[in-house]
Structure 1
Amino acid sequence: MTTALRLAACQFSATADWAANLQRLGLDARTAAERGAQVAVFPEAAMARFGSETAALGQALDGPFADGVRALAEETGLLIVAGMFTPSGDGRVRNTLLVSGAGVETRYDKIHLFDAFGSRESDVVAPGDALVTINAFGTTFGLATCFDLRFASQFSALGRLGAEVLLVPASWGEGPGKAEQWDLLVRARAMDAQAWLLACDQAWTPPAGTDPLGIGRSACIDPLGGVRARLAAGEGILLADVEPSLAADVRARVPVLSADA
């Protein structure tokens, strides 16, 4: 049986300056570690916010932003998940989650791109094509990013791969009904995977055209869809204690993932 974990969702508003954003990650990561967290999740586009010439700002996974995140993970002992942009090789970038710390070093490239509500993420971002799970602290984690939340099958698949805790960085765009949709989707996707779900959004930022800049409302959801903790719109750190073994208990009592896909 896995033991309880303390998760941190570090909700802030990224700028176009990757070095300044990395400095902010450092402040929040150290605070999360001091408060007993083992996992710290930062938003999608934590390296540089959308609308900031992302193609030009993309960095390789051996570049200065990623190396800075690795150094923070080593310093604090945290498993850190942070959104960045990496070169795709076709003139665009990948919308990448860098995962580092606790003996883990991997990436997840966002599969479902935000071509909706007038935005065209695919113009500057190339899609990923692989689900990713990792193991740390005796727990299986699944990864997803923002617009992936609208695709239930991805979360059911992560549940079938054994994910007990889902980590979902986001930069959720503001608009009519968007906050309600976010609240609904994070709960629904936790239920689809029958897993804990920690969603970390960019803090609310004044809208700029169709760029998704964040509404806040980071949340921790249990495997039955219950909201265990939620932030408001502003910057802050959400701390949540989760029991990963609850996922197996829920799957045994409500065996939907074992049914034919």
Structure 2
Amino acid sequence: MRVALVQMAASTDPNANLTTIEKLTSGIEADLVVLPEAVMHDFGNPDTPLGPAAQPLDGPFVSAIAGLARQLDATVIAGMFEVSGDPDRPHNTLVALAPDGTLAGTYRKAHLYDSFGYRESDRLLRGPAEPAVLTVNGHSLGLLTCYDLRFPEHARALVDAGADNLVVPAAWVRGPLKEDHWETLVRARAIENTVYVAAAAQCGRAYCGRSMLVDPLGVAVSAAGEAEGVIGGEIDLHRLASVRERNPALQHRRAWPTSTTHHEHAQQDG
């Protein structure tokens, strides 16, 4: 499966973002095109309200991405802010549009970025802790968004649900050690689950860029720096099978007890 990862700096103007997307994807030949998190409308400043920017799944942004998917004859995955039951706090949602323009899947970000002095939950509503998996050209894709990378149990739940590849649109905020965390976590999720990880990130003033496609042994098939652009690579089922034969770690898993007290406390925190 041919994969194209689009790295760009989104603005708070959806029309301008669509123009940039169209420019960067012109002439792409791929089966899967991955756009970053919040590519419809950037997060903006920490005090920027996101409720007014939210759109429904049948709104103009998804319609435009559906048109792009038809034009490219590819599945396109992109990040948006989706209207929710709370007018002030939309969902941080990934949409997957099939080559015929139909909506092939959605994922609402389950782990909100309340970390490193930031409070995503003040402006966004978290989604359910349910694995989102879809099939593209015979490949099973599990969807994650940005901060979700820091939760290995989330990636493992996707693999348990059948995913052989992880797709991670992101707007990974730059900062001390943050770029190192990004690269380490992308590779770790690939290695520990013996899967490909296709991670497309925003770049620009606030974000680190460094989009990458990593194979099941943690080797970068392709990687970007800090500039806008598109990188490509292939997800190879034969490579996946070969790695899993060589390193059958998933078959060696054992069930470990969990602390009931800690589990109950975590449930109450939500």
Task: Give the TM-score, by structure 2 length.
Answer: 0.87
Please name the residue that 1:174 is paired with.
Answer: 174
Choose which of 56, 71, 78 in structure 1 pairs with 2:74: 78
Q: CA deviation at 1:72?
A: 1.0
C-alpha separation between the residues in 2 aligned to 1:245 and 1:110? 31
Q: CA deviation at 1:53?
A: 3.0
Q: CA deviation at 1:57?
A: 0.1
Counterparts in 2 of 1:30 and 1:78: CA distance versus 1, 3 Å: farther
Please name the residue that 2:99 is paired with.
Answer: 102
Superposition CA RMSD, Å:
1.5
Could you list the per-position Cα deviations for residues 205-236 of structure 1 after superposition, in whole angstroms to 9, with x for gaps in the alignment?
22xxxxxx321100111001111211010101
Please name the residue that 2:268 is paired with.
Answer: none
**Residues 1-261 of structure 1: pairs in structure 2 closer than 5 A:** 5-32=1-28, 36-51=29-44, 52-91=48-87, 92-102=89-99, 105-129=104-128, 130-203=130-203, 205-206=204-205, 213-258=206-251, 259-261=253-255
Report if aligned partners of 1:102, 1:137 keep a CA contact under 8 Å in 2: no
Q: CA deviation at 1:73?
A: 0.6
C-alpha separation between the residues in 1 aligned to 2:248 and 2:51? 43
Q: Which amino acid aligns with 2:19?
A: Q
What is the SS of the residue equivalent to 1:61? Answer: coil
Please name the residue that 2:264 is paired with.
Answer: none
Q: CA deviation at 1:86?
A: 0.3
Q: CA deviation at 1:78?
A: 1.0
Q: CA deviation at 1:142?
A: 0.9
Q: CA deviation at 1:122?
A: 0.6
C-alpha separation between the residues in 1 aligned to 2:42 and 2:225? 20
Report if aligned partners of 2:6, 2:200 keep a CA contact under 8 Å in 1: yes
What is the SS of the residue equivalent to 1:44? Answer: coil
Could you list the per-position Cα deviations for residues 152-185 of structure 1 after superposition, in whole angstroms to 9, with x for gaps in the alignment?
1111222222212211000000110111111101
Could you list the per-position Cα deviations for residues 68-120 of structure 1 after superposition, in whole angstroms to 9, with x for gaps in the alignment?
10111112111000000001212311000010013662111111110001100
Q: How many residues align?
A: 247
What is the SS of the residue equivalent to 2:249? Answer: coil
C-alpha separation between the residues in 2 aligned to 1:30 and 1:220? 20
What is the SS of the residue equivalent to 1:81? Answer: strand
Mark the structure with the bigger radius of gyration: 2
Could you list the per-position Cα deviations for residues 223-254 of structure 1 after superposition, in whole angstroms to 9, with x for gaps in the alignment?
01111211010101011122034333333332
Q: Which amino acid aligns with 2:179?
A: A
Report if aligned partners of 2:104, 2:134 keep a CA contact under 8 Å in 1: no
What is the SS of the residue equivalent to 1:89? Answer: coil
What is the SS of the residue equivalent to 2:221? Answer: strand
**Percent of pairs with identical residues:** 38
C-alpha separation between the residues in 1 aligned to 2:154 and 2:239? 20
Q: Which protein, 1 or 2, shows the higher relative CO under an 8 Å CA cutoff with sep ≥ 6?
A: 1
What is the SS of the residue equivalent to 2:117? Answer: coil
Q: CA deviation at 1:127?
A: 0.9
Report if aligned partners of 1:83, 1:98 keep a CA contact under 8 Å in 2: yes
Task: Give the TM-score, by structure 1 length.
Answer: 0.90
Report if aligned partners of 2:76, 2:98 keep a CA contact under 8 Å in 1: yes
Gaps of 5+ in 1: 207-212
C-alpha separation between the residues in 1 aligned to 2:144 and 2:5? 14
C-alpha separation between the residues in 2 aligned to 1:140 and 1:245? 14
